[in-house]
Amino acid sequence: MGANNQYPMSGRQAKEAIVPDTISGALELGRAVLRARHQGHDPVAAATEVLGGVVLFTGSVARAQEEEKMGFYYTVVDLHGRGPHEGLVARLVIKNETMLLSIEGSIKAIFPDLVCLLEPGTGRGIMSVELAEGKALTLVGVRCHERLREALGSEIGACAFSPARYGYPELEYQPTEELVEGFR
- pLDDT recorded at residue 1: 47
Residue 18 amino acid letter: I
What's the CATH number of domain 55-179, 2.40.390, 2.40.30, 3.30.70, 1.10.3470? 2.40.390
For residue 112, what are the contacts with CB-CB under 8 A and spacing of at least 6? 144, 148, 149, 152, 161, 173
pLDDT in tens, 143-158: 999 999 999 999 999 9
**Model confidence band, residue 163 (pLDDT cutoffs 50, 70, 90):** very high
Q: In the chain, where are the structural domains located?
A: 55-179
For residue 51, what are the contacts with CB-CB under 8 A and spacing of at least 6? 29, 114, 116, 140, 142
Q: What pTM was computed for the model?
A: 0.91
99 neighbors 110 (Cβ within 8 angstroms): yes
